A and B are shown apart, each in its own frame.
Chain A
Amino acid sequence: MAEVSVPRILATVPKGAWVPLGLLAAWALAAGSGVAASPLFVSPLEVLRVPFADPDGQEVWAALGASILRVVGGGLTGVLLGLVLGMLCGLSRVASLGVAPTIHTARQIAVFAWIPLFTAWFGNGEATKLVFTALSTFFPVFLATERGIRSTPKALEEVARTLDLPFGKRLLRFYLPAALPTIQVGFRIAVLSAWIGTIGAEYAIGNGRGLGSFIASARDQFRMDIVLVGVFVLAAGGVIFNHACERLFAILFPWAKE
Protein backbone atom coordinates (compact mmCIF):
# COMPACT_ATOMS: atom_id res chain seq x y z
CA MET A 1 0.00 0.00 0.00
CA ALA A 2 2.72 2.40 1.05
CA GLU A 3 4.60 1.78 -2.19
CA VAL A 4 1.56 2.80 -4.18
CA SER A 5 0.57 5.86 -2.18
CA VAL A 6 3.88 7.71 -2.40
CA PRO A 7 3.84 8.13 -6.20
CA ARG A 8 0.16 8.94 -5.89
CA ILE A 9 0.89 11.83 -3.52
CA LEU A 10 3.67 12.96 -5.84
CA ALA A 11 1.22 12.98 -8.74
CA THR A 12 -1.04 15.40 -6.91
CA VAL A 13 1.77 17.98 -6.62
CA PRO A 14 1.08 20.70 -9.20
CA LYS A 15 3.70 20.93 -11.92
CA GLY A 16 4.36 24.57 -11.08
CA ALA A 17 5.41 23.60 -7.54
CA TRP A 18 8.33 21.42 -8.60
CA VAL A 19 10.85 24.25 -9.03
CA PRO A 20 10.16 25.93 -5.66
CA LEU A 21 10.10 22.53 -3.93
CA GLY A 22 13.43 21.66 -5.54
CA LEU A 23 14.97 24.95 -4.43
CA LEU A 24 13.62 24.41 -0.92
CA ALA A 25 15.14 20.93 -0.80
CA ALA A 26 18.52 22.26 -2.01
CA TRP A 27 18.34 25.01 0.60
CA ALA A 28 17.52 22.59 3.43
CA LEU A 29 20.26 20.24 2.27
CA ALA A 30 22.84 23.03 2.14
CA ALA A 31 21.87 24.24 5.62
CA GLY A 32 21.68 20.74 7.12
CA SER A 33 24.96 19.44 5.70
CA GLY A 34 26.84 22.49 6.88
CA VAL A 35 28.18 23.23 3.39
CA ALA A 36 27.21 26.87 3.66
CA ALA A 37 28.23 27.72 7.18
CA SER A 38 27.76 31.41 7.77
CA PRO A 39 25.79 33.41 10.35
CA LEU A 40 23.86 34.87 7.37
CA PHE A 41 22.79 31.46 6.13
CA VAL A 42 19.71 30.20 7.95
CA SER A 43 17.79 26.97 7.53
CA PRO A 44 14.20 26.81 6.20
CA LEU A 45 12.97 25.51 9.55
CA GLU A 46 14.34 28.53 11.36
CA VAL A 47 12.58 30.81 8.91
CA LEU A 48 9.36 28.92 9.50
CA ARG A 49 9.74 29.25 13.28
CA VAL A 50 10.57 32.97 13.39
CA PRO A 51 7.18 34.60 12.70
CA PHE A 52 5.55 32.55 15.48
CA ALA A 53 8.21 31.96 18.14
CA ASP A 54 10.67 34.85 17.84
CA PRO A 55 9.58 38.10 19.56
CA ASP A 56 11.20 40.20 16.80
CA GLY A 57 9.78 37.90 14.14
CA GLN A 58 6.25 38.09 15.52
CA GLU A 59 6.12 41.73 14.55
CA VAL A 60 5.74 40.68 10.93
CA TRP A 61 1.98 40.38 11.44
CA ALA A 62 1.53 43.93 12.69
CA ALA A 63 3.80 45.09 9.87
CA LEU A 64 1.71 43.19 7.33
CA GLY A 65 -1.48 44.78 8.66
CA ALA A 66 0.01 48.26 8.47
CA SER A 67 1.16 47.68 4.89
CA ILE A 68 -2.22 46.35 3.82
CA LEU A 69 -3.95 49.41 5.27
CA ARG A 70 -1.53 51.62 3.35
CA VAL A 71 -2.15 49.73 0.10
CA VAL A 72 -5.89 50.06 0.54
CA GLY A 73 -5.81 53.74 1.56
CA GLY A 74 -3.24 54.99 -0.93
CA GLY A 75 -4.40 52.56 -3.61
CA LEU A 76 -8.03 53.63 -3.46
CA THR A 77 -6.98 57.27 -3.78
CA GLY A 78 -4.84 56.46 -6.80
CA VAL A 79 -7.51 54.27 -8.41
CA LEU A 80 -10.16 56.96 -7.98
CA LEU A 81 -7.93 59.70 -9.39
CA GLY A 82 -6.85 57.46 -12.25
CA LEU A 83 -10.46 56.59 -13.11
CA VAL A 84 -11.65 60.19 -13.03
CA LEU A 85 -8.73 61.69 -14.95
CA GLY A 86 -8.64 58.74 -17.34
CA MET A 87 -12.33 59.15 -18.14
CA LEU A 88 -11.88 62.88 -18.58
CA CYS A 89 -8.97 62.43 -20.99
CA GLY A 90 -10.75 59.58 -22.79
CA LEU A 91 -13.91 61.57 -23.31
CA SER A 92 -12.77 65.13 -23.79
CA ARG A 93 -10.50 66.22 -26.56
CA VAL A 94 -9.53 69.37 -24.65
CA ALA A 95 -8.50 67.38 -21.58
CA SER A 96 -6.66 64.80 -23.62
CA LEU A 97 -4.70 67.51 -25.46
CA GLY A 98 -4.14 69.63 -22.36
CA VAL A 99 -3.56 67.20 -19.51
CA ALA A 100 -2.64 63.81 -20.98
CA PRO A 101 0.82 64.78 -22.33
CA THR A 102 1.89 65.96 -18.86
CA ILE A 103 0.74 62.72 -17.27
CA HIS A 104 2.32 60.60 -19.97
CA THR A 105 5.64 62.41 -19.46
CA ALA A 106 5.48 62.13 -15.66
CA ARG A 107 4.85 58.41 -16.09
CA GLN A 108 8.28 58.02 -17.71
CA ILE A 109 9.95 58.97 -14.43
CA ALA A 110 10.82 55.81 -12.49
CA VAL A 111 8.42 55.91 -9.53
CA PHE A 112 11.13 55.49 -6.90
CA ALA A 113 12.80 58.65 -8.15
CA TRP A 114 9.87 60.53 -6.61
CA ILE A 115 10.76 59.45 -3.07
CA PRO A 116 13.39 62.14 -2.37
CA LEU A 117 11.00 64.79 -3.65
CA PHE A 118 8.06 63.45 -1.68
CA THR A 119 10.02 63.24 1.57
CA ALA A 120 11.04 66.86 1.03
CA TRP A 121 7.41 67.87 0.42
CA PHE A 122 5.48 65.64 2.77
CA GLY A 123 8.09 64.72 5.41
CA ASN A 124 9.34 61.32 6.54
CA GLY A 125 6.00 60.04 7.76
CA GLU A 126 2.77 58.45 6.73
CA ALA A 127 1.85 61.11 4.15
CA THR A 128 4.79 60.37 1.86
CA LYS A 129 4.09 56.65 1.91
CA LEU A 130 0.43 57.14 1.09
CA VAL A 131 1.16 59.64 -1.69
CA PHE A 132 3.72 57.30 -3.13
CA THR A 133 1.33 54.36 -3.09
CA ALA A 134 -1.37 56.50 -4.65
CA LEU A 135 1.02 57.63 -7.39
CA SER A 136 2.13 54.12 -8.28
CA THR A 137 -1.52 53.04 -8.51
CA PHE A 138 -2.60 56.10 -10.42
CA PHE A 139 -0.54 55.61 -13.59
CA PRO A 140 -1.72 52.14 -14.64
CA VAL A 141 -5.35 52.94 -13.84
CA PHE A 142 -5.19 56.26 -15.68
CA LEU A 143 -3.61 54.71 -18.77
CA ALA A 144 -6.04 51.81 -18.91
CA THR A 145 -9.11 53.97 -18.36
CA GLU A 146 -8.08 56.50 -20.97
CA ARG A 147 -7.35 53.79 -23.52
CA GLY A 148 -10.45 51.80 -22.60
CA ILE A 149 -12.78 54.75 -23.03
CA ARG A 150 -11.16 55.78 -26.30
CA SER A 151 -11.49 52.33 -27.77
CA THR A 152 -15.15 51.73 -26.89
CA PRO A 153 -16.87 49.99 -29.82
CA LYS A 154 -18.12 52.58 -32.30
CA ALA A 155 -21.23 50.56 -33.10
CA LEU A 156 -22.37 50.61 -29.49
CA GLU A 157 -21.47 54.26 -29.14
CA GLU A 158 -23.87 55.00 -31.99
CA VAL A 159 -26.59 53.14 -30.12
CA ALA A 160 -25.89 55.23 -27.01
CA ARG A 161 -26.25 58.33 -29.16
CA THR A 162 -29.46 57.28 -30.89
CA LEU A 163 -30.96 56.39 -27.50
CA ASP A 164 -30.21 59.95 -26.39
CA LEU A 165 -28.82 58.78 -23.04
CA PRO A 166 -28.28 61.54 -20.48
CA PHE A 167 -24.58 62.14 -19.73
CA GLY A 168 -24.50 60.39 -16.36
CA LYS A 169 -26.25 57.30 -17.69
CA ARG A 170 -24.04 57.30 -20.74
CA LEU A 171 -21.01 57.20 -18.46
CA LEU A 172 -22.34 54.53 -16.09
CA ARG A 173 -24.22 52.34 -18.53
CA PHE A 174 -22.02 52.69 -21.57
CA TYR A 175 -18.50 54.12 -21.28
CA LEU A 176 -17.44 52.50 -18.01
CA PRO A 177 -18.73 49.00 -18.75
CA ALA A 178 -17.44 49.18 -22.30
CA ALA A 179 -13.99 50.17 -21.04
CA LEU A 180 -14.08 47.66 -18.19
CA PRO A 181 -12.03 44.85 -19.76
CA THR A 182 -9.20 47.31 -20.45
CA ILE A 183 -9.60 48.96 -17.04
CA GLN A 184 -9.42 45.55 -15.41
CA VAL A 185 -6.02 44.88 -16.96
CA GLY A 186 -4.78 48.24 -15.69
CA PHE A 187 -6.31 47.58 -12.30
CA ARG A 188 -4.48 44.30 -11.94
CA ILE A 189 -1.18 46.03 -12.67
CA ALA A 190 -2.17 48.84 -10.30
CA VAL A 191 -2.79 46.47 -7.39
CA LEU A 192 0.62 44.95 -7.85
CA SER A 193 2.34 48.34 -8.11
CA ALA A 194 0.43 49.56 -5.05
CA TRP A 195 1.85 46.63 -3.13
CA ILE A 196 5.37 47.11 -4.49
CA GLY A 197 5.08 50.89 -4.07
CA THR A 198 4.01 50.67 -0.44
CA ILE A 199 6.75 48.23 0.51
CA GLY A 200 9.28 50.27 -1.47
CA ALA A 201 8.33 53.51 0.26
CA GLU A 202 8.43 51.86 3.68
CA TYR A 203 11.81 50.34 2.90
CA ALA A 204 13.29 53.57 1.55
CA ILE A 205 11.97 55.75 4.37
CA GLY A 206 12.67 53.08 6.94
CA ASN A 207 10.61 54.28 9.89
CA GLY A 208 7.17 53.40 11.20
CA ARG A 209 5.41 50.07 10.97
CA GLY A 210 5.19 48.15 7.71
CA LEU A 211 6.66 45.20 5.86
CA GLY A 212 9.22 47.39 4.09
CA SER A 213 10.64 48.91 7.26
CA PHE A 214 10.40 45.50 8.96
CA ILE A 215 12.73 44.06 6.32
CA ALA A 216 14.98 47.12 6.40
CA SER A 217 15.52 46.99 10.14
CA ALA A 218 16.05 43.20 10.07
CA ARG A 219 18.75 43.72 7.46
CA ASP A 220 20.38 46.38 9.62
CA GLN A 221 20.50 43.85 12.50
CA PHE A 222 21.84 41.10 10.22
CA ARG A 223 18.75 38.98 10.99
CA MET A 224 18.63 37.01 7.76
CA ASP A 225 15.84 34.77 9.12
CA ILE A 226 13.57 37.79 9.64
CA VAL A 227 14.49 39.27 6.26
CA LEU A 228 13.44 36.02 4.61
CA VAL A 229 10.17 35.93 6.55
CA GLY A 230 9.48 39.44 5.28
CA VAL A 231 10.25 38.43 1.71
CA PHE A 232 7.95 35.39 1.85
CA VAL A 233 5.11 37.38 3.39
CA LEU A 234 5.65 39.97 0.66
CA ALA A 235 5.25 37.36 -2.06
CA ALA A 236 2.21 35.83 -0.38
CA GLY A 237 0.64 39.28 -0.02
CA GLY A 238 1.05 39.98 -3.74
CA VAL A 239 -0.53 36.67 -4.70
CA ILE A 240 -3.44 37.18 -2.29
CA PHE A 241 -4.09 40.73 -3.49
CA ASN A 242 -4.13 39.55 -7.09
CA HIS A 243 -6.64 36.81 -6.34
CA ALA A 244 -8.82 39.05 -4.20
CA CYS A 245 -9.08 41.54 -7.06
CA GLU A 246 -10.03 38.89 -9.56
CA ARG A 247 -12.75 37.63 -7.23
CA LEU A 248 -13.97 41.18 -6.69
CA PHE A 249 -14.25 41.78 -10.43
CA ALA A 250 -16.02 38.48 -10.95
CA ILE A 251 -18.58 39.35 -8.27
CA LEU A 252 -19.10 42.96 -9.37
CA PHE A 253 -19.26 42.31 -13.10
CA PRO A 254 -20.75 38.86 -13.68
CA TRP A 255 -21.36 39.51 -17.39
CA ALA A 256 -17.64 39.98 -18.05
CA LYS A 257 -16.63 36.39 -17.32
CA GLU A 258 -16.81 33.76 -20.01
Chain B
Amino acid sequence: MTLEQVQQKRAAVLRPELRKDNGNAPATAALSIGRVGKSFSLNGSPREILRDVSFTVGKGEIVGVLGASGCGKSTLLRLIVGLDQDYSGRIAVSGEETRGLNRDVAMVFQDHRLFPWLTVAGNVGLALEALDLPGKEKADRIRHYVDLVGLSDYIDAYPKQLSGGMAQRAAIARALVSEPNILLMDEPFGALDSLLRLRLQDELLRIWDRNNVSIVVVTHDIEEALYLSDRVIVLEANPGRIHSVIDVGLDRPRLRDDPHIVSLKRQCLELVLDPPARITS
Protein backbone atom coordinates (compact mmCIF):
# COMPACT_ATOMS: atom_id res chain seq x y z
CA MET B 1 0.00 0.00 0.00
CA THR B 2 1.38 3.37 -0.89
CA LEU B 3 1.49 6.23 1.54
CA GLU B 4 -1.29 8.05 -0.18
CA GLN B 5 -3.59 5.03 -0.10
CA VAL B 6 -2.94 4.64 3.58
CA GLN B 7 -3.80 8.25 4.21
CA GLN B 8 -6.98 8.00 2.25
CA LYS B 9 -7.96 4.87 4.06
CA ARG B 10 -7.41 6.67 7.33
CA ALA B 11 -9.35 9.68 6.19
CA ALA B 12 -12.20 7.44 5.10
CA VAL B 13 -12.26 5.71 8.46
CA LEU B 14 -12.42 9.05 10.19
CA ARG B 15 -14.81 10.76 7.88
CA PRO B 16 -17.58 8.51 6.58
CA GLU B 17 -18.55 10.97 3.87
CA LEU B 18 -15.23 10.33 2.15
CA ARG B 19 -15.89 6.63 1.94
CA LYS B 20 -18.20 7.05 -1.03
CA ASP B 21 -15.34 8.71 -2.84
CA ASN B 22 -13.54 6.51 -5.35
CA GLY B 23 -10.32 7.21 -3.51
CA ASN B 24 -8.49 8.66 -6.45
CA ALA B 25 -8.67 12.34 -5.57
CA PRO B 26 -5.80 12.93 -3.11
CA ALA B 27 -6.92 15.22 -0.33
CA THR B 28 -4.51 18.03 0.47
CA ALA B 29 -2.25 16.96 3.29
CA ALA B 30 -2.74 18.79 6.58
CA LEU B 31 0.98 19.18 6.89
CA SER B 32 3.73 18.57 4.42
CA ILE B 33 7.41 18.78 5.17
CA GLY B 34 9.60 19.00 2.08
CA ARG B 35 13.35 18.45 2.21
CA VAL B 36 13.72 20.36 5.44
CA GLY B 37 17.24 20.91 6.69
CA LYS B 38 18.59 22.82 9.64
CA SER B 39 22.09 23.66 10.69
CA PHE B 40 23.68 26.18 12.98
CA SER B 41 27.21 27.04 13.82
CA LEU B 42 28.69 25.81 17.07
CA ASN B 43 31.83 27.72 18.07
CA GLY B 44 32.34 28.72 14.45
CA SER B 45 32.01 25.26 12.93
CA PRO B 46 28.76 24.38 11.18
CA ARG B 47 26.65 21.64 12.72
CA GLU B 48 23.92 19.93 10.81
CA ILE B 49 20.88 19.09 12.91
CA LEU B 50 18.40 17.97 10.27
CA ARG B 51 18.99 16.87 6.71
CA ASP B 52 16.48 16.39 3.95
CA VAL B 53 13.49 15.49 6.08
CA SER B 54 10.33 14.99 4.06
CA PHE B 55 6.95 13.58 5.05
CA THR B 56 3.30 14.45 4.99
CA VAL B 57 0.57 14.21 7.60
CA GLY B 58 -2.94 13.58 6.32
CA LYS B 59 -6.03 15.20 7.78
CA GLY B 60 -6.83 13.52 11.07
CA GLU B 61 -3.75 11.38 10.95
CA ILE B 62 -1.46 10.72 13.89
CA VAL B 63 2.21 10.53 12.98
CA GLY B 64 4.81 9.51 15.51
CA VAL B 65 8.38 10.71 15.26
CA LEU B 66 10.70 8.33 17.01
CA GLY B 67 14.38 8.70 17.63
CA ALA B 68 17.10 8.73 20.21
CA SER B 69 17.78 12.00 21.99
CA GLY B 70 19.83 14.41 19.94
CA CYS B 71 18.42 13.31 16.59
CA GLY B 72 16.72 16.65 16.06
CA LYS B 73 13.14 15.57 16.64
CA SER B 74 12.33 18.46 18.94
CA THR B 75 14.04 20.85 16.54
CA LEU B 76 11.77 19.58 13.80
CA LEU B 77 8.68 20.53 15.83
CA ARG B 78 10.12 23.95 16.60
CA LEU B 79 10.53 24.55 12.89
CA ILE B 80 6.97 23.48 12.16
CA VAL B 81 5.40 25.59 14.90
CA GLY B 82 7.45 28.58 13.77
CA LEU B 83 9.62 29.20 16.83
CA ASP B 84 12.64 28.84 14.57
CA GLN B 85 12.38 30.18 11.03
CA ASP B 86 15.94 29.60 9.96
CA TYR B 87 15.85 26.39 7.95
CA SER B 88 16.07 25.17 4.39
CA GLY B 89 13.27 23.42 2.56
CA ARG B 90 9.55 23.86 2.68
CA ILE B 91 6.84 23.44 5.31
CA ALA B 92 3.24 23.66 4.14
CA VAL B 93 0.07 23.66 6.24
CA SER B 94 -3.11 22.66 4.38
CA GLY B 95 -1.24 23.09 1.12
CA GLU B 96 0.00 26.59 1.85
CA GLU B 97 3.65 27.22 2.48
CA THR B 98 4.29 28.73 5.88
CA ARG B 99 7.30 30.07 7.71
CA GLY B 100 6.87 31.42 11.19
CA LEU B 101 3.94 31.21 13.52
CA ASN B 102 0.75 29.79 12.13
CA ARG B 103 -2.57 29.80 13.98
CA ASP B 104 -3.40 26.43 12.47
CA VAL B 105 -0.56 24.81 14.38
CA ALA B 106 -0.49 24.39 18.15
CA MET B 107 2.13 22.82 20.34
CA VAL B 108 2.26 20.88 23.59
CA PHE B 109 5.65 20.81 25.27
CA GLN B 110 7.13 18.14 27.49
CA ASP B 111 6.72 20.35 30.54
CA HIS B 112 3.26 21.83 30.82
CA ARG B 113 4.51 25.42 30.59
CA LEU B 114 1.37 26.85 32.13
CA PHE B 115 1.62 30.44 33.34
CA PRO B 116 1.71 30.17 37.13
CA TRP B 117 -0.13 33.48 37.56
CA LEU B 118 -3.21 32.35 35.65
CA THR B 119 -5.86 29.79 36.56
CA VAL B 120 -6.62 26.83 34.29
CA ALA B 121 -9.34 28.89 32.61
CA GLY B 122 -6.95 31.82 32.26
CA ASN B 123 -4.23 29.68 30.74
CA VAL B 124 -6.58 27.99 28.30
CA GLY B 125 -8.21 31.32 27.44
CA LEU B 126 -4.83 32.80 26.60
CA ALA B 127 -4.81 30.81 23.38
CA LEU B 128 -8.00 32.61 22.33
CA GLU B 129 -6.66 36.13 22.82
CA ALA B 130 -5.41 36.31 19.26
CA LEU B 131 -8.76 35.17 17.88
CA ASP B 132 -10.95 38.10 18.85
CA LEU B 133 -13.98 36.07 19.90
CA PRO B 134 -17.03 37.57 21.66
CA GLY B 135 -16.91 37.09 25.44
CA LYS B 136 -19.60 34.45 25.72
CA GLU B 137 -18.25 32.28 22.95
CA LYS B 138 -14.82 32.56 24.47
CA ALA B 139 -16.07 31.42 27.87
CA ASP B 140 -18.05 28.56 26.31
CA ARG B 141 -15.06 27.36 24.37
CA ILE B 142 -12.78 27.45 27.39
CA ARG B 143 -15.35 25.45 29.37
CA HIS B 144 -15.79 22.95 26.56
CA TYR B 145 -12.10 22.19 26.24
CA VAL B 146 -11.47 22.14 29.97
CA ASP B 147 -14.34 19.61 30.19
CA LEU B 148 -12.85 17.64 27.32
CA VAL B 149 -9.61 17.08 29.20
CA GLY B 150 -11.54 16.28 32.38
CA LEU B 151 -10.57 19.29 34.45
CA SER B 152 -14.02 20.85 35.01
CA ASP B 153 -13.55 20.77 38.77
CA TYR B 154 -10.21 22.53 38.50
CA ILE B 155 -11.12 25.30 36.07
CA ASP B 156 -10.33 27.98 38.67
CA ALA B 157 -7.26 26.28 40.11
CA TYR B 158 -3.77 27.69 39.75
CA PRO B 159 -1.09 25.47 38.14
CA LYS B 160 0.71 24.89 41.44
CA GLN B 161 -2.49 23.34 42.76
CA LEU B 162 -2.53 20.74 39.96
CA SER B 163 -0.72 17.41 39.75
CA GLY B 164 1.66 16.79 36.87
CA GLY B 165 -0.93 14.88 34.88
CA MET B 166 -3.61 17.51 35.40
CA ALA B 167 -1.23 20.28 34.40
CA GLN B 168 -0.37 18.44 31.19
CA ARG B 169 -4.08 17.97 30.48
CA ALA B 170 -4.57 21.71 30.92
CA ALA B 171 -1.71 22.27 28.46
CA ILE B 172 -3.47 20.03 25.95
CA ALA B 173 -6.69 22.01 26.42
CA ARG B 174 -4.75 25.23 25.84
CA ALA B 175 -3.35 23.82 22.60
CA LEU B 176 -6.73 22.59 21.36
CA VAL B 177 -8.95 25.52 22.35
CA SER B 178 -8.03 27.60 19.31
CA GLU B 179 -9.11 24.58 17.22
CA PRO B 180 -5.92 24.20 15.19
CA ASN B 181 -5.71 21.69 12.36
CA ILE B 182 -2.38 20.42 13.54
CA LEU B 183 -1.29 19.56 17.05
CA LEU B 184 2.42 19.12 17.66
CA MET B 185 3.43 17.26 20.79
CA ASP B 186 7.00 17.20 22.02
CA GLU B 187 7.31 14.17 24.31
CA PRO B 188 4.05 15.24 25.90
CA PHE B 189 3.95 12.51 28.54
CA GLY B 190 7.68 12.11 29.03
CA ALA B 191 7.68 13.80 32.42
CA LEU B 192 4.86 11.66 33.84
CA ASP B 193 5.03 8.33 35.63
CA SER B 194 4.42 5.28 33.48
CA LEU B 195 0.85 4.49 34.60
CA LEU B 196 -0.27 8.05 34.13
CA ARG B 197 1.42 8.07 30.75
CA LEU B 198 -0.72 5.13 29.59
CA ARG B 199 -3.87 6.80 30.82
CA LEU B 200 -3.11 10.09 29.11
CA GLN B 201 -2.32 8.28 25.86
CA ASP B 202 -5.83 6.83 25.92
CA GLU B 203 -7.26 10.21 26.77
CA LEU B 204 -5.41 11.78 23.89
CA LEU B 205 -6.90 9.22 21.53
CA ARG B 206 -10.36 9.87 22.92
CA ILE B 207 -9.96 13.63 22.37
CA TRP B 208 -8.53 13.05 18.91
CA ASP B 209 -11.48 10.83 18.08
CA ARG B 210 -13.86 13.70 18.82
CA ASN B 211 -11.73 16.47 17.39
CA ASN B 212 -10.19 14.95 14.30
CA VAL B 213 -7.06 17.04 14.66
CA SER B 214 -3.87 15.94 12.90
CA ILE B 215 -1.18 15.09 15.41
CA VAL B 216 2.58 14.88 15.16
CA VAL B 217 3.89 13.35 18.35
CA VAL B 218 7.59 13.25 19.03
CA THR B 219 8.68 10.59 21.47
CA HIS B 220 11.50 8.27 22.40
CA ASP B 221 9.03 5.75 23.78
CA ILE B 222 8.59 3.07 21.11
CA GLU B 223 5.41 1.64 22.60
CA GLU B 224 3.87 5.08 22.82
CA ALA B 225 4.71 5.82 19.21
CA LEU B 226 3.24 2.51 17.99
CA TYR B 227 0.15 2.69 20.17
CA LEU B 228 -0.77 6.23 19.15
CA SER B 229 0.34 6.59 15.56
CA ASP B 230 -0.92 5.66 12.14
CA ARG B 231 2.65 5.89 10.94
CA VAL B 232 5.91 6.11 12.80
CA ILE B 233 8.82 8.00 11.32
CA VAL B 234 12.12 6.73 12.67
CA LEU B 235 14.84 9.35 12.74
CA GLU B 236 18.53 8.64 12.97
CA ALA B 237 21.00 11.11 14.39
CA ASN B 238 24.02 13.12 13.21
CA PRO B 239 22.56 14.65 11.18
CA GLY B 240 18.92 13.96 11.96
CA ARG B 241 17.31 12.31 8.96
CA ILE B 242 14.52 9.87 8.25
CA HIS B 243 15.72 6.31 8.56
CA SER B 244 12.49 4.56 7.82
CA VAL B 245 8.75 4.91 8.02
CA ILE B 246 6.69 2.23 9.75
CA ASP B 247 3.06 1.87 8.80
CA VAL B 248 1.24 0.64 11.88
CA GLY B 249 -1.96 0.05 9.94
CA LEU B 250 -4.20 -1.02 12.82
CA ASP B 251 -7.68 0.25 13.54
CA ARG B 252 -8.50 1.77 16.87
CA PRO B 253 -9.10 1.04 19.65
CA ARG B 254 -5.91 -0.95 19.70
CA LEU B 255 -4.66 -3.48 22.18
CA ARG B 256 -1.33 -2.54 23.63
CA ASP B 257 -0.19 -6.15 23.32
CA ASP B 258 -1.59 -6.68 19.85
CA PRO B 259 0.76 -9.20 18.18
CA HIS B 260 1.28 -6.78 15.31
CA ILE B 261 2.36 -4.00 17.67
CA VAL B 262 4.64 -6.43 19.51
CA SER B 263 6.37 -7.46 16.32
CA LEU B 264 6.64 -3.84 15.14
CA LYS B 265 8.14 -3.00 18.50
CA ARG B 266 10.88 -5.56 17.98
CA GLN B 267 11.51 -4.11 14.55
CA CYS B 268 11.66 -0.58 15.94
CA LEU B 269 14.03 -1.57 18.70
CA GLU B 270 16.40 -3.00 16.14
CA LEU B 271 16.12 0.15 14.06
CA VAL B 272 16.75 2.45 16.98
CA LEU B 273 19.41 0.44 18.76
CA ASP B 274 21.28 -0.98 15.80
CA PRO B 275 20.30 0.87 12.65
CA PRO B 276 21.12 -1.08 9.49
CA ALA B 277 22.35 0.76 6.42
CA ARG B 278 19.77 3.20 5.17
CA ILE B 279 17.44 2.20 2.43
CA THR B 280 18.16 4.77 -0.21
CA SER B 281 15.44 5.48 -2.66
Interface residue ranges, A against B (CB under 8 Å)? 155-156, 158-159, 161-166, 169, 173-174, 177-178, 180, 253, 255-256
Least CB separation from B82: chain A residue:
A162
Least CB separation from A163: chain B residue:
B127
B window 114-169: CB within 8 A of A: 115-118, 122, 126-127, 129-130, 158, 160
Instruction: Contacts A161-B101, A166-B129 given; indicate if A155 touches B83 (C-beta within 8 A).
Output: no
Instruction: Contacts A253-B117, A255-B117, A255-B158 given; indicate if A158 touches B126 (C-beta within 8 A).
Output: no
Instruction: Contacts A155-B111, A174-B115, A177-B117 given; indicate if A162 touches B101 (C-beta within 8 A).
Output: yes
Contact yes or no, B113 A165, CB < 8 A = no
Interface residue ranges, B against A (CB under 8 Å)? 81-83, 101, 103, 106-107, 109, 111, 113, 115-118, 122, 126-127, 129-130, 158, 160, 174, 178
Q: A156 vs B83: C-alpha distance in the bound complex, in angstroms?
A: 12
Contact yes or no, A162 B107, CB < 8 A = yes
Top 7 closest pairs, chain A to chain B, by CB:
A177-B117, A164-B130, A169-B129, A255-B117, A159-B113, A163-B127, A255-B158
* B81 / chain A contacts, CB cutoff of 8 Å: 162
Contact yes or no, B117 A162, CB < 8 A = no
* B101 / chain A contacts, CB cutoff of 8 Å: 161-162, 164
* Secondary structure dominating the interface of A: helix
Contact yes or no, B113 A256, CB < 8 A = no
Contact yes or no, B115 A156, CB < 8 A = yes
Q: A174 vs B129: C-alpha distance in the bound complex, in angstroms?
A: 12
Q: A165 vs B127: C-alpha distance in the bound complex, in angstroms?
A: 8
* B122 / chain A contacts, CB cutoff of 8 Å: 173
* A180 / chain B contacts, CB cutoff of 8 Å: 117
Q: A162 vs B184: C-alpha distance in the bound complex, in angstroms?
A: 11
Q: Which of A155, A165, A178 contacts B126 (CB 8 A)?
A: A165
Q: A173 vs B124: C-alpha distance in the bound complex, in angstroms?
A: 12
Contact yes or no, B158 A165, CB < 8 A = no
- Report 23 cross-chain contacts, Cβ distance below 8 Å, ordered by A residue: A155-B113, A156-B113, A156-B115, A158-B113, A159-B109, A161-B83, A161-B101, A162-B81, A162-B101, A162-B107, A163-B126, A165-B129, A166-B129, A169-B129, A173-B122, A173-B126, A174-B115, A177-B115, A178-B115, A178-B117, A255-B117, A255-B118, A255-B160
Instruction: Contacts A177-B117, A255-B158, A256-B117 given; indicate if A162 touches B83 (C-beta within 8 A).
Output: yes
Least CB separation from A176: chain B residue:
B117
* Secondary structure dominating the interface of B: loop
Least CB separation from A168: chain B residue:
B129
Q: A169 vs B82: C-alpha distance in the bound complex, in angstroms?
A: 20
Query: Smallest CB–CB gap between B63 and chain A, Å?
Result: 19
Q: A57 vs B115: C-alpha distance in the bound complex, in angstroms?
A: 53
* B103 / chain A contacts, CB cutoff of 8 Å: 164
Q: Which of A156, A163, A174, A178 contacts B130 (CB 8 A)?
A: A163
Least CB separation from B177: chain A residue:
A163
Q: A246 vs B2: C-alpha distance in the bound complex, in angstroms?
A: 66
Least CB separation from B160: chain A residue:
A255
Query: Smallest CB–CB gap between A176 and chain B, Å?
Result: 9
Q: A155 vs B103: C-alpha distance in the bound complex, in angstroms?
A: 19
Contact yes or no, A155 B109, CB < 8 A = yes
Query: Smallest CB–CB gap between A255 and chain B, Å?
Result: 5
Query: Smallest CB–CB gap between B28 and chain A, Å?
Result: 23
- Known A-B contacts: A155-B113, A164-B101, A173-B126. Give 14 more (CB < 8 A): A159-B109, A162-B83, A162-B107, A163-B126, A163-B130, A163-B178, A164-B130, A173-B118, A173-B129, A177-B115, A178-B115, A178-B117, A255-B158, A255-B160
Q: A239 vs B34: C-alpha distance in the bound complex, in angstroms?
A: 65
* A165 / chain B contacts, CB cutoff of 8 Å: 126, 129-130
Least CB separation from B113: chain A residue:
A159
* A162 / chain B contacts, CB cutoff of 8 Å: 81-83, 101, 106-107
Least CB separation from B116: chain A residue:
A255
Query: Smallest CB–CB gap between B243 and chain A, Å?
Result: 28
Q: A163 vs B122: C-alpha distance in the bound complex, in angstroms?
A: 13
Q: A174 vs B101: C-alpha distance in the bound complex, in angstroms?
A: 18
